[in-house]
């Protein structure tokens, strides 16, 4: 399992580069410069009821200007608000961006903690798809696992994935990345050359034990 975690940690870390953004306001008359922190705020809906659908993720820009926080739907909206507040000819407005390595290290540590949960949720998806699939022709465990992972990816893309363990919210993109590793064969818990015999019904406790392995 350690090798799976190393692959998954690398994949998730590569996709989570963090940047610090700010807007520099220069007063052309006095030469004074102010730096206004800019953040991207994401609102993630967490369903509280069993059958409640998850609403789409919402994102907006938040610029801290002194005690006031400006909210913008996108960059064009932010530019328009700043031009009205700091007009051309009197001010110069510049957007800056740099890598925030301190926050990236913190996110990497958090990823190490949450990665086993992401794998568990992905395995829940694969297990559910395997239980639904009853092939008529013999196939290998690895092929069935890949097919189940691909169907799981389609489930995530359709917004129908439901997290089972809700002690902390996991981004669906994490689950998709883990499923992609199983679908491509990069990661597998199955024996690639073992033919799959006709499936027998298993006791609930036995199935649950396999999902956690």
The answer to whether residues 46 and 109 belong to one domain is no
The answer to whether residues 146 and 187 belong to one domain is yes
The answer to whether residues 108 and 128 belong to one domain is yes
Of 96, 129, 146, which residue is a domain's last?
A: 96
The answer to whether residues 109 and 129 belong to one domain is yes
Total domains in the chain come to 2
The answer to whether residues 150 and 72 belong to one domain is no
pLDDT at 24: 96
Calpha distance 26→93 (Å, rounded): 7
Q: What is the pLDDT of residues 145-199, one digit of tens each?
A: 999 999 999 999 988 898 888 778 888 888 999 999 999 988 888 765 555 544 4
The answer to whether residues 109 and 182 belong to one domain is yes
The answer to whether residues 199 and 108 belong to one domain is yes
The answer to whether residues 108 and 202 belong to one domain is yes
pLDDT at 1: 40
Is 10 a member of any domain?
A: no
Q: What is the pLDDT of residues 62-103, one digit of tens each?
A: 999 999 999 999 999 999 999 999 999 999 999 999 888 887
pLDDT at 141 over 70: yes
Of 33, 68, 96, which residue is a domain's last?
A: 96
Is 9 a member of any domain?
A: no
The answer to whether residues 88 and 111 belong to one domain is no
Is 188 a member of any domain?
A: yes
Is 164 a member of any domain?
A: yes
* Cβ neighbours, 10 Å, residue 96: 12
Is 153 a member of any domain?
A: yes
Neighbour-count burial for 156-195, b at 16+ CB within 10 Å, e otherwise: beeeebbbeeeeeebbbebbbbbbbbbbeeebbebeeeee
The answer to whether residues 116 and 208 belong to one domain is yes
Is 44 a member of any domain?
A: yes
5 vs 126, higher pLDDT: 126
Q: What is the pLDDT of residues 15-64, one digit of tens each?
A: 567 788 999 999 999 999 999 999 988 887 777 777 777 778 788 999 99
Is 8 a member of any domain?
A: no
Helix boundaries (H) for the chain: 2-14, 75-85, 101-132, 141-157, 172-184, 204-212
The answer to whether residues 84 and 153 belong to one domain is no
What would the mean pLDDT of 132-142 be, rounded to a whole number?
77
Whether the predicted model's global pTM rises above the 0.85 cut: no
Of 96, 115, 130, which residue is a domain's last?
A: 96
Is 56 a member of any domain?
A: yes
Structural domain harbouring 179 = 104-212
Q: Which of 37-46, 116-125, 135-144, 189-198 has the lowest mean pLDDT?
A: 189-198
Task: Please work out, in degrees rounded to the nearest 5, the angle formed at the alpha carbon of residue 7 by the alpha carbons of 166 and 9.
Answer: 50
The answer to whether residues 205 and 116 belong to one domain is yes
**Structure-token pair, residue 78:** 């932010």
């Amino acid at each position: 399992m350690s090798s799976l975690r190393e692959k998954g940690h690398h994949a998730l870390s590569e996709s989570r580069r963090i940047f610090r953004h700010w807007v520099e306001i220069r007063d052309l008359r006095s030469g004074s410069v102010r730096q206004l922190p800019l953040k991207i705020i994401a609102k993630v809906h967490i369903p509280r009821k069993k059958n409640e659908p998850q609403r789409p993720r919402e994102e907006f820009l938040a610029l801290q200007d002194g005690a006031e926080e400006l909210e913008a739907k996108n960059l064009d909206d932010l530019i328009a608000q700043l031009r009205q507040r700091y007009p051309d000819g009197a001010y110069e407005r510049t957007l800056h961006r740099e890598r925030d390595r301190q926050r990236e290290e913190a996110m990497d540590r958090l990823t190490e903690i949450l990665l086993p949960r992401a794998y568990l949720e992905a395995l829940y998806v694969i297990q559910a798809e395997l239980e639904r699939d009853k092939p008529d022709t013999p196939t290998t465990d690895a092929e069935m696992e890949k097919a189940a992972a691909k169907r799981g990816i389609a489930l995530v893309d359709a917004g129908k994935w439901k997290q089972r363990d809700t002690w902390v919210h996991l981004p669906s993109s994490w689950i998709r990345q883990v499923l992609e590793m199983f679908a491509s064969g990069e990661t597998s818990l199955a024996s690639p050359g073992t033919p799959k015999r006709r499936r027998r019904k298993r006791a609930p406790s036995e199935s649950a034990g396999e999902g956690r392995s």
